[in-house]
Structure 1
Amino acid sequence: MNDESQQPNPSAHRSFHPDKYAPEPDKPRKTPTKEEKEASGAGTPSDSLTARAEDRGKSQGMHDTGHHGSSRRPSGKKDASAYTGVNPEDSSAGDGSR
């Protein structure tokens, strides 16, 4: 016969007696008043300060290639001036000096 001894487990006792060991329940959140809502939103800008990605992509060196896929997302490609910041067609000083 295998005599197994059990070790005391106080956690199990607490689990089966929540009325004695459980913490007090949290208070429910109160609904903010109209004045509190207005005060929390004061000074918050309502419009975005940055341009949409579709609008930002229209810069020198970027070329629109239309919409692609079922999502109809805009797409485009870059030329050399988009990578280097130098327009390859604008060579006022042919020797590279400024």
Structure 2
Amino acid sequence: MDETRQQENPSAHRSFHTEEHAPGKGSGRKVSRQEKNPPPGTVAESDSRRGEEYAKESDEEGRRETGRRGRSQRPSGTKDAEAFTGVDPQDPSGQPRNG
């Protein structure tokens, strides 16, 4: 078995110890004349709605909400066989589906 060792990497030390190896801060960047003024035109506003707004309106067949989950409290849900769009979705109930 080969000996396990870490290779020397002096650039890594310089990268993480900038106070020792980097020059001091300069006077900073000069803001250009164009940057001092706001851009021409108006602020663009979206004409469309957010996904949450669509979800509140729609009651898709085969989908059920299961409440909010986890620390983030994101909405969650499940779907039945009729919500699957594959070539041969499996219906767990064994009942023929209307199509």
Normalising by the smaller structure, the TM-score range is: 0.3 to 0.5
Larger Rg: 1
Give TM-score, length-normalised by structure 2: 0.41
Give TM-score, length-normalised by structure 1: 0.41
